[in-house]
Amino acid sequence: MENKSPFLDTLFLLRKEECITIFTDLQEISKKEEQEAADYFESEFEKERLEFLIDQISCDRETAVWAAKVMYHSAQLHLIRENTAKDLNKLIPQFKGKRDTSSILSADLSLRFLPQIIAVLQNADPEDALIKMLENILTQFHYSAIGYDLELKNIHWEEELKDETYRKLYLERIVEKKAYSLAEIPYINQLLIAEFGIYKDIFWRELKTINDGN
C-alpha cells in the first residue's frame, strides 16, 4: 500500500518503524483515507490475532480508525498548536462505541503508542490540556496504557478480565512491561502467581505475592 497522505504515512511508519513524522499543518482526513486505514488495520489485526486463544474475535474497523485519528492528531499537535485550542474536542473525540474485547484490541493497534506521545507532550508543557484528554482515553482503554503511570479507580477486575482472551493478553503485557502497580493488585497478582506456578522466579523473581488482606 502506497503512502498517499500524512495520516496514512504516519500510521504505516509508526506501525513499521515506531517513529512519527511531524507535518507542517493539520489536514482533513478524507473518507477514502479512513477506508484505507480500516483495511490496513484489519490486516494488521489478523496478524496479531495469531497470538489470541480463539479466532472468533474480529477487528472493529470503526474503533481502529477512531484510535488512529486520536494517535495521529495527538502526535501532530505536539508542534502544530496555532489556532487549535477550539478544535481539540473535534480532533481528539471521545469514544462513543461499544467497549468490548474486539474494540479494546482494535484500538490498541494505535493507542499502544499514546503513552510515548503523552511523555513528549509532558516534557514540552506539563499543563497542556491535551494530556488530560489523552489520559482520559487511556483510562477507558487501559490495556494500551500498561506500563504507563495511570491512576485507575473503581475497576472491578474480575468483571474487567472475564474474557479469557483479553485476560491472557492483559496478563502477558503486565509481565512484558513489568507493570508493578497492576501486578500488585490482589486479583491480578493471584492470576499471575497461578500462571507462573513453580516457574515464578524465572518469569518475575521480584514480584511479591499479595494477599487479599494486604
Mean pLDDT by 10 residues, the chain (214 residues): 74 84 78 96 92 82 97 85 71 95 97 94 90 96 96 93 94 96 95 92 89 61
Cell of 182: 497492576
CB atoms within 10 A of CB 202: 8
Cell of 99: 467497549
pLDDT score for 6: 87
pLDDT score for 137: 97
pLDDT score for 213: 53
pLDDT score for 214: 45
CB atoms within 10 A of CB 85: 9
Per the listing, cell 496514512 goes with 8
State pTM to two decimals: 0.90
CB atoms within 10 A of CB 198: 6
Contact 143, 173 (CB under 8 A): yes
Ramachandran quadrant class, 18 (left: phi over 0; alpha: psi -120 to 50; beta: rest):
left
